[in-house]
Each structure stands twice: as C-alpha cells, then as structure tokens.
Amino acid sequence: MDKHTIKGVWGFNGTERPGAVYLAAVLAGHAQKGLPAFGIYGHEVQDADDTSIPDDVKEKLLRFGRAAVAAAQMRGKSYLQIGSICMGIAGSIIDSNFIEEYLGMRVESVDEVEIIRRMEKGIYDHAEYEKALAWAKAYCKEGFDKNPDFMQNSREVKDEQWEFVVKMMVIIKDLMKGNQNLPEGCEEERVGHNAIVGGFQGQRQWTDFYPNGDFAEALLNSSFDWTGKREPMVLATENDVLNGLGMLFGKLLTNRAVMFSDVRTYWSGNAVKRVSGYELEGHAKEADGFLHLINSGASALDFSCQARDGSGIRTIKPWFDMTEDDIKACLDNTTWNPADLGYFRGGGYSSRFVTDTEVPMTMMRLNLVKGLGPVLQIAEGYSVKLPTEVTEKLWKRTDYTWPCTWFAPRCDGKEGMFKSAYDVMNNWGANHGAIAYGHIGADIITLASILRIPVCGHNVPEDKIFRPACWNAFGMDKEGQDFRACQNYGPLYKL
Ligand code: MN
C-alpha cells in the first residue's frame, strides 16, 4: 500500500497454477486502491516445470526494471542550478514544485560567483587541478580561431583561459558531488550539493565577462575525463533545467552520455539540394530532410561516435564499457576552438566535432504547460552521415566552431507530428532537445508513466508501449488514456 514503491507483477501463463487469476486480482485490487501497477502476462502457455522466462516477458520485465530503477535513482537527489535564468529561455526558470512533486528531488541554487570565490580563495582540489590541466594540455587539441585577427586573444590570454576553464570544471564537479580532498577549513564545501543533474547559466552575465562553460559542460556530460572512464555528470547548458532533466532520463535509462543541443534548423531535401547540389538518401530521404542539432560546445564528446563495439563498428557505449582507445579516439576527433567573441566576449573554448556516422538516436524534450502541467515529446530517429563537402557547406552557414549532428527522425508520411522531419521541427515544444543513443522511446514512455508525465507526441510503435494496467480504464486511445490517467493520479511525490 506504499504509493512510493513502483509496482510490477508477472503472472505466469500456465494451466496448473492460476498465474493469470492472481495477476488479474492483484491488478484489479491495485486499481481499486489508486495504486498504479504494471501487469506482465506471457503470450504463450508454459508448462508447470518450465522455469524459463519467455522473450515477451523478458522485454517487459527489463523495460519496467530500467524505468523503475531510473525513477528510484532520482528520488532524494538534487538539481543544482549554478546561476539562474539564461537570456529569454523559460526552460531555465526553475519550478521547484514540479521537481519536488514529480521527481522526488529538490532544487539547490548557487550564484555563479561561487566559482570565482573558490578560484580566488583556493577552494579546490589542487592536486586534481594539476592533473586535469596536464591532461587537457596533452589530449584536448586547440582548434582554429574563427575570430578576425584584430579580435583574437593573445597566446598568453589563451593559455590563461585554458587554466580557467579546467579549474572551472574541477570546481563544478565539486559543487555537484562534493570532494573530501578540499582544503582544511572547507568542511561545508566538501559535502557538495548531492546533485544528480545540474545546470550552468553562462549567458549572458558570465560569458560577457569570463570564459564560457563549454569545456566543463561538454566534458562533465561525457563518459570520461582525466580520471579515465567515469559516469557522465549531466550538466545542462544555459541552465535549461527542463532539457537537463530529459538528459537525466536518457542517461539513467541507457547508462550512456546524453547530448544537449539546440534544435536549430530544419533542412528539407530541396533546401539541401539548392545549396549543395546533394540529393538526400536513406533515412534523411524518408523523412524529407533532417534537423541540425548544434549548440555552443556543450555536447558530450561521446557523440563524435568514435567508440567501437566488439565488431569495430562506431557507436556510443555505456560509460563503464569505454576503453582507453575509445576515449583517445573521441578526444582525437574533437578540437577545442577559441569561442566566437561575438557570442562570448569573455572567451573560452567550444568543443567541435561532427557526428559523421549513422547510429540510432532518440531525441526528447520535457515541457511545462500552464494549466496542463509537464508533458514529454519523443522522436526516435538516426544521425545522418552526409558527404563531407555537404556537411561543410551547411555547417559553415551557422557556427562552424560548434559540435554538429544531423538528425533524421523516423517519419511515416502520415498526417501529424511524424509526417516528415519538418513536422517534427514544427511541433517541437522548445529550442533544445536531449538526445540519447538508441531507440529508447518505449523506455521513456514507461518512465514517464511512473512519474505521471503524459507523453504528448512520439513515434514509438504502439505494441512497445508499456504503462500501468489501470491506464486501460481511461478509455481506448493510448494517448488520451495517458493524459487522463496522469491527471487522475497526479505527481508521485505530491506534498
Ligand atoms: Mn542553446
């Protein structure tokens, strides 16, 4: 009867034992008591002595397990905002009630000046900083400077900025997780903010004055740093908390790095042809185009897709499977370009790479709608490999020092959000997206139902949708059911 436990029941499909009867009774009881529970009933009859788990049951057990563990991992943790609202981005206006009631998390806030205080007062792990700086000098390659000659920073200033951005990352890590190695007298700072996800405002006050946060954002989101492979620490650019939370969902469901990006441009087949002469192929052709995912260097380096699976195929791996070769390859294929001083007067370095191979990806976005509450959008698709000269032509029209991914959502040509890539762009709820490796839309839907967040748009096949059994009592259309059930049960941790 504890409403905070996440419930799933497998009823064995057998003739000698009443698994189905047990399952149906349990689910009816839970429905009657207002406790959503997932029901799993195998398709084929099994003999009484058959201890195997059929594939259809396995799929549901694992989907339930991944989503339930993700929800449980968030509970009791924090979102740490460093700074506040970024430019005109409403996604960075924190709604503490939403985070408390829907996710069981709390909001911790520090002013960006805390980073400067720690730098000036020496409140960081000095040995770790030296190690990080030596690593950055050895493995993070500085890229070309796009600024006009008269604006470029001197070599001396650039070197100082390297030290600054590395120190900034060391400090943000401490802010999120704490660090027992902070100097004597810093017992409070040693504790950290128990953050499972965070956000850094950056624009405009910080970046107008200090080097930007791209180095810290890109690397904390990656599955490695100077300590070797390590769990990605989700950090949202521009303190876009709603995108940070989407990234967190993706990370917890996949154990992989997740990419933060602007959903910046829709390129139709015609537009690509007009400016480059190239005729789209494959998934991009099926979707009549693709979306340009690009943001100042906040994208996890894993999305250069330079890790290799057992067959040598390029991929994005769970962080614990990353090898030294994978890490080296991601770093070798990324440059750190002096920031565009038009955007970022304080300088810094933007990570720059291109996702030049096709892998499955899922883009998601959490939005808050006044009067309705939170809603989630999900688009499964593929990264698109364009010929190099086409990539160059298109990329140079926007910021050529930022990481670049072409993404074709899986579209079906039917009326609605997934008619074409244009319709996905045109229906997307905000300027950012959180992009995870693989086709994980079904897992996200299951997690969203646990959190009582309705999904307002997705391209997941209907037979993969797995929600608590009582959702079926809310009508016959899956989408309407979801809205009505989420409204009926309300947030999991409602105060
Ligand atoms: Mn952005």
pLDDT in tens, 308-355: 999 999 999 999 999 999 999 999 999 999 999 998 999 999 999 999
Q: To the nearest whole percent, how much of the chain has pLDDT over 90?
A: 98
pLDDT at site 1: 87
Which residues, including other chains, have CB under 8 Å from residue 62's CB and lie 6 or more apart? none
Gap from CA of 388 to ligand 1 centroid (Å): 25
Q: How confident is the model at residue 296 (pLDDT cuts 50, 70, 90)?
A: confident
Mean residue pLDDT across the chain: 97
Closest CA to 97 of 360, 373, 389: 373
Q: Which residue in 101, 238, 286, 399 is the catalytic one?
A: 238
Q: How confident is the model at residue 397 (pLDDT cuts 50, 70, 90)?
A: very high
Structure tokens at 483: 């809205």
Distances from the Cα of 124 to the Cαs of 135, 186, 188, 292, in angstroms?
17, 9, 13, 38
pLDDT at site 59: 98
Gap from CA of 296 to ligand 1 centroid (Å): 7
Q: Which residue has the tokens 């700074």?
A: 83
Kindly tell me if the per-residue pLDDT of 55 is higher than 90: yes
pLDDT in tens, 185-198: 999 999 999 999 99
Structure pTM?
0.97
Q: How confident is the model at residue 298 (pLDDT cuts 50, 70, 90)?
A: confident
pLDDT in tens, 442-461: 999 999 999 999 999 999 99
Mean pLDDT of 407-415: 97
CA 317 – CA 268 distance, rounded (Å)? 31
pLDDT at site 18: 78
3-state class (DSSP) for residue 355 = coil
pLDDT in tens, 102-121: 999 999 999 999 999 999 99
Q: Is the CB of residue 11 less than 8 Å from the CB of residue 22? A: yes
Is 95 part of the annotated catalytic residue set?
Answer: no
Q: Is the CB of residue 169 less than 8 Å from the CB of residue 177? A: no
Q: How confident is the model at residue 206 (pLDDT cuts 50, 70, 90)?
A: very high
Q: How many C-beta neighbours within 10 Å does residue 49 have?
A: 7
Kindly tell me if the per-residue pLDDT of 200 is higher than 90: yes
Kindly tell me if the per-residue pLDDT of 234 is higher than 90: yes
Name all domains of the chain by residue range, CATH numbers in brackets. Answer: 7-69 (no CATH), 70-464 (3.20.14.10)
pLDDT in tens, 263-294: 999 999 999 999 999 999 999 999 999 999 99
Gap from CA of 184 to ligand 1 centroid (Å): 39
Gap from CA of 295 to ligand 1 centroid (Å): 5
Half-sphere exposure of 416 (CA within 13 A, CB side): 11
CA 362 – CA 356 distance, rounded (Å)? 17
pLDDT at site 229: 98
Gap from CA of 369 to ligand 1 centroid (Å): 20
Gap from CA of 343 to ligand 1 centroid (Å): 12
Gap from CA of 228 to ligand 1 centroid (Å): 28
pLDDT at site 495: 84
Kindly tell me if the per-residue pLDDT of 297 is higher than 80: no
Geometric angle at alpha carbon 246, from 466 and 57, rounded to 5°: 20
Mean pLDDT of 11-37: 94
Gap from CA of 382 to ligand 1 centroid (Å): 21
Gap from CA of 194 to ligand 1 centroid (Å): 26
Is 59 part of the annotated catalytic residue set?
Answer: no
pLDDT at site 88: 87
Q: Which residue in 174, 189, 217, 262 is the catalytic one?
A: 262
pLDDT at site 81: 98
Kindly tell me if the per-residue pLDDT of 248 is higher than 80: yes
pLDDT at site 318: 98
